[in-house]
Structure 1
Amino acid sequence: MPLLASFLNPLDNTHNFEPDKHIPDLADKVIIVTGGNSGCGKETVLQLAKHNPGRIYLAARSQAKFDDAIKEISTAAPDANITFLELDLSSLASVKQAAEKVVSENSRCDLLINNAGIMAHPPGLTADGYELQFGTNHMGHALLTRLLLPTMQRTASQPDSDVRIVNVSSAGHMFVTGPGIYFDQLKTPMESTNPGVIYAQSKLANILHARELAKRYPEILTTSAHPGRVESNLANVMFDVNGFNGRFQRVFDSLAGQFTVQQGALTQLWAATWKRDEVKNGAYYVPAGKENAGSKKSRDAELAKKLWEWTESELSAKGY
């Protein structure tokens, strides 16, 4: 293990959390995991599937991606009820269609893990005209959450319910610059801004969104989680471009090491299933289940409020 691993990519399993041992029975629970076809998302589905869930929606962009993932998951949990949910987070129309499917097929929704994301992509726009990383990582998840909230609220009002939302963020949010969220540029490709900074902006938005959800919907336990630097395909685009960000990440990985996906999924699994009274609503957690203050911007209540209002206004203007 690299000498700097414990400092640069720490794993402090504060609660000695073991998914097989500590995830409770999930009978009747309806669960959604975005990006469930690879990396930490697939591992999250796999671990939850072992504990008798009512239904897990594995959200992915295509049936082929789902089919590839389900082979491994079904081996670990052959009897689990896992359903394909077609979802392209860069398209609000796709998000709406996915949410409508979940709502039409279920009377409840217990757990939403907003896991999917893209990292340091070249400049671009989503189908709806938002900067690509912000539009995918934040706007897509914000709409999915918004459309599922009424069902989640109804579920939360039932006896013995335990309704949760987990936004998967990143310690990369600390690399934001300037205002943190560049509201005046969110409908541009932001070509003149480093893709790593744009990624950081989207990950900051994930934390701020979780904090605001916790504030506005206290009956739902909402947290954000940093998985650590994980050996997955998230950084592949950045490596392919081979710019400064990719070269920096390779050096970082050589010094810090990378978590396995099993280690990387621990924090979001912990936030999703650990004893409710020991998980703090609105908090940001790092591996594995350790509360962290995050950056100053991530604790800015006014910025969180501004982002919420901006997002709600945008979604409403587009008919959602």
Structure 2
Amino acid sequence: MSTTKFDPAKDIPDLTGKSFFITGGTNGLGAHSAVHLANHNASHIYISGRNAQNAEKIIAQIRDSGSRTEVTFVECDLSSLSSIKQAMDAFVATAPRLDVLMCNAGIMAKPLGLTKDGYELQFGTNHLGHALLIKKLLPLLEKTSATGGDARIILLSSQGMFLHPKDGIDFDGLRTVQDFGIGGPWRRYGQSKLANMLYARQLSVHYPEIVSVSIHPGVVATDLLSSGKLWKRVSGYSTSLGLTLAPEEGAFNQVWAATVEREKIQSGSYYEPVGVVSDKKLDKTGQDDELAKKLWDWTEDALKEY
């Protein structure tokens, strides 16, 4: 069931000349986003991830559909800052243009763990990894904006952000596994998704020439969400109400944000459902600009050597 009147087939404009970079573009919402964009003549789509075999399947699917969009796989591990640095430095050195960066990749409700750089696994992957990738690609996006283009950054947040710890982000514990006890995996997930939303707002402040927004895709039946007792309960309840989206529908919000006319999108805002500004639905923590600034400063310090 779709919760929006947005129809990609009719509402996405011709994308000739535009290039897109989609993290996690080898499966799930990222792959469906690539297909939607390729159907409207995007000039070049870059899909990043760790699975080259999955990437080849998506590339073949787009090619076999008759689309002339060029699709390139960029191997990159978001849980490793050195992997991101190496991949993005090489990308920036060769890519002629970038119009839209879609930060789609993510992990959810994982057991206790650390990234390769020693950060809590979900925060380090969902937020910090994307933050470094964004910093590396900002010069290309700024160039697009400076030459009359419409540069955008879309970060996938989630209503799961409301599961964040009491203070929103436990900065003192980010170099630990953050064992929050019962419900810990979801609190860590909520913390990372809150960070995605807050970071998009800060990007709009620091780079006003680039449209930066966060979105919630909805409750979507993807591989990312298909395991775990809690998800099965949520999924079953949502399905009974007709609220669970198919993956191709789950991609609608991010594709809308990537392609809608500039005057119809508000930089710095959080969108849920498709095309609806939902900043007032955020809790007190989500509306805390001081927390957003603290996150920005913490992130800048964490990434300064990269």
1:74, 1:204 → 2: CA distance?
37
Local SS of the residue matching 2:162 = helix
- In the TM superposition, residue 107 of structure 1 has moved relative to its aligned partner by 2.9
2:155 corresponds to:
167
Q: Kindly tell me: are residues 246 and 19 of structure 1, through their superposed partners in 2, closer, same or farther at Cα, counting changes over 3 Å?
A: closer
Residue by residue, what CA displacement relative to the aligned partner does 1:98-135 show, whole Å, maximum 9, x if unpaired? 21232112232110000000000001000011100001
Q: In the aligned structure 2, how far is the partner of 1:77 from the partner of 1:231?
A: 27
- Report the count of equivalent residues: 301
Q: Provide the residue aligned with 2:202 in structure 1.
A: 212
Structure-to-structure mapping, 1:309-320, within 5 angstroms: 309-316=297-304, 319-320=305-306
Residue 101 of structure 2 corresponds to residue 116 of structure 1? no
1:249 correspondence with 2:234: yes
Assess, with a 3 A threshold, how the Cα gap between structure 1 residues 211 and 94 changes in structure 2: closer, same or farther. Answer: same
With over 3 angstroms needed to count, the CA separation of the structure-2 counterparts of 1:86 and 1:250, relative to structure 1, is same
Q: Which runs of 4+ in 1 moved over 6 A?
A: none
Q: Deviations over 1:184-220 (max 9, x none)?
A: 1111111234101110000000000000000110100
Residue 30 of structure 1 contacts residue 108 of structure 1 at CA under 8 Å; is this kept in 2? Answer: yes
**Aligned-pair RMSD on alpha carbons?**
1.7
Q: Residues 247 and 83 (structure 1 numbering): CA distance in 2 closer, same or farther, change over 3 Å?
A: closer
Structure 2, unpaired ranges of 5+: none
Distance (Å, rounded) in 2 between the aligned partners of 1:19 and 1:101: 32
The range that moved more, 277-286 or 66-75, is 66-75
Contact 1:119/1:199 (CA < 8 Å) preserved in 2? yes
Q: Quick check: 2:41–2:67 contact (8 Å CA) kept in 1? A: no
Structure 2 CA distance, aligned partners of 1:183 and 1:174?
17
Give the conservation status (yes or no) of the 8 Å contact 2:44–2:71. yes
CA shift in 2, pair 1:255/1:176, >3 Å: farther
Question: What is aligned with 1:7?
Answer: none
Q: TM-score, normalised by structure 1?
A: 0.89
Cross-structure match for 1:197: 187
| 2:50 is equivalent to residue 64 of structure 1 | no
Question: What's the secondary structure of 1:189's corresponding residue?
Answer: coil
Letter paired with 2:271:
Y
CA distance in 2, matches of 1:192, 1:268: 31
Structure 2 match to 1:277: 263
Q: Is the 1:120–1:235 Cα contact (8 Å) retained in structure 2?
A: no
- State the alpha-carbon separation in 1 of the partners of residues 278 and 88 from structure 2: 31
State the shift of 1:228 in Å. 0.2
Match among 144, 147, 151 for residue 158 of structure 1: 147
The reply on whether 1:92 has 2:81 as its aligned counterpart is yes
Give the Cα separation in 2 of the matches to 1:250 and 1:48: 28
Counterpart of 1:6 in structure 2 is none
Q: Check conservation: 2:28, 2:223, Cα contact below 8 A.
A: yes
Q: Give, in whole Å, the separation in 2 of the partners of 1:248 and 1:214.
A: 36
Tell me the equivalent position of 1:286. 272
Which residue pairs with 2:6 in the alignment?
17
How far apart are the structure 1 equivalents of 2:57 and 2:147?
A: 36
Matched, 1:297 2:282: no
Task: State the alpha-carbon separation in 1 of the partners of residues 253 and 211 from structure 2.
Answer: 15
Identical-pair percentage: 43
